[in-house]
Amino acid sequence: MPATYEPIATTTLSTAASTITFSSIPATYTDLRVVFVGQGTFTQSALLRFNNDTGTNYSTTQLQGDGGAVYSQRQTNNNNISMVQIPNNGGTANNTFGMVFFEIFSYAGSTNKTVLGGDAGDTNGSGNINRIVGLWRNTSAINEITITTGGASTYVAGTTATLYGIKAA
Amino acid sequence: MANTYTLIASNTLSSSAASVIFSAIPNTYTDLVLKMSVKTSSTSATGDLYVQINSATSTYSYTRIYGAGGGGYGSDRSAGDFPALYSSNVNGNSSVVTNVFANVEFYIPSYAGNKNKVASQFSAQERNDSLAYIESYAHSTDITAAISSLKIEGNGTNLVSGSSFFLYGIKNS
């Protein structure tokens, strides 16, 4: 049986940093999946950009639960795909790394690129759960993915992100 | 390049059982994925499901979003109320769901590391009735040891015949 789920690259931060980038992504897979396990210096989004495009070509629709209520929000003409969150490194979250995942469909095709993502950010009595759908209005093949805090916050040392490629055949 | 999404173990029940245990889980993977098609012997329409890590009854907590069709949706939270990773609304064995099993998936990242263990869960129980649910959970625990066993069981109920369980390991290199 052919290998259909393969790690392309993984990055583990040895020191705090605000950005993790996967570049030179081969076009030989069908879909991509990013698994991000980490923590921010405060509760922080993991913002997603492709091919270093900082234009307002992204949109996101979010479903969020905070343990008491459900919300849905939308961002249009934004400069990133956002609205997933990881825990901060204070209080009860001190030893808890949150998980964020993104699945990017037909990333090497010629249509606009769609993303399905989410997080698991429970921290024993607090935290959120988010599920998002994202769109990058660009028909280019994705060859670079940037995950960034987008602000002054950083991801702590030990934060790990892995890029997997999934083949349809 | 090697395939790194690997089946570690599976179990399809040929008869009702109190629990299913995956033990001696090797620490050679990066993440674990636990998939199941499951129904409990609860005589109610729905039943609870527990996934206990390393036989530990430590603090398990979750934040959940759920939808029950129509206007039924919400988010809730538990902190230390259950002795395992908790999933509600798995199909019970009442007549309305005689031949329908719930789909449940847990993704457990960095299961062999020394941080508190967390999990992302997605489950669905479509049953062509008003008690169907779709749910997502963010789980966290205070368990820092590497995960070497996972015990799946109901809340005082059995797992019925035909329930199937699959444990996969994913390597990031």
pLDDT for the residue numbered A91: 58
Neighbouring residues of A13: CB distance < 8 A, sequence distance ≥ 6: A20, A38, A155, A156, A157, A158, A159, A160
- Tokens 């015949």 identify what position? B161
Min distance B25 CA to chain A CA atoms (Å): 21
Residue A91, SS3?
helix
pLDDT tens, residue order, chain A (169 aa): 567 899 999 999 999 999 999 999 999 999 999 999 999 887 678 999 999 999 999 999 999 999 999 999 999 999 999 988 888 876 566 789 999 999 999 999 999 999 999 999 998 888 899 999 999 999 999 999 999 997 778 999 999 999 999 998 7
Residue B114 lies in a domain: yes
Distance from CA of A55 to the nearest CA of B (A): 31
* Residue B57, domain member (yes or no): yes
**B132 located within any domain:** no
Q: Do B120 and A123 touch (CB under 8 A)?
A: no
Which residues on adjacent β-strands are paired with residue A71?
A: A64
Which residue pairs from A50-57 have beta carbons closer than 8 angstroms and sit at least 24 positions apart in sequence? A50/A113, A50/A136, A50/A138, A50/A142, A50/A144, A50/A145, A50/A146, A51/A138, A51/A140, A51/A142, A51/A143, A51/A144, A52/A144, A52/A146, A53/A136, A53/A138, A54/A79, A55/A79, A57/A136, A57/A137, A57/A138
Give contacts of A 124-163 with B, CB under 8 A.
124-125, 127-129, 131, 158, 160, 162
Letter string b/e over residues B125-154, b meaning 16 or more CB atoms within 10 A of that residue's CB: bebeeebbbbbbbbbbbbbeeebbebbbbb
Question: Whole domain around residue B98: which residue ranges?
Answer: 4-125+142-171
CB contact (8 A) between residue B119 and residue A66 = no
| Second-level CATH architecture of A5-163 | Sandwich (2.60)
- Domain ranges for chain A: 5-163
CATH classification of the domain holding B155: 2.60.120
Give the pLDDT band (50/70/90) at residue B128. Answer: confident
pLDDT at B15: 97
B73 in reach of chain A (CB within 8 A): yes
Provide φ and ψ at B35, rounded to 5°: -115, 145
Mutation choice for A interface testing from B32, B120, B122, B123 by most A CBs within 10 A: B120
Is B167 inside any structural domain? Answer: yes
In chain B, what is the straight-line distance between the N-terminal and C-terminal CA atoms, in Å? 9
- Asked if residue B134 is part of any domain, the answer here is no
Burial of residue A52, with CB atoms counted within 10 A of its CB: 0-12 exposed, 13-18 middle, 19 or more buried: exposed
Q: What is the DSSP letter of B162?
A: T
Whole-model pTM: value is 0.94
Distance CA A122, CA B65 (A): 12
B140: which chain A residues are within 8 Å (Cβ-Cβ)?
Answer: 96, 120, 122-124, 127
Looking at the structure of chain B, the number of domains it has is 1
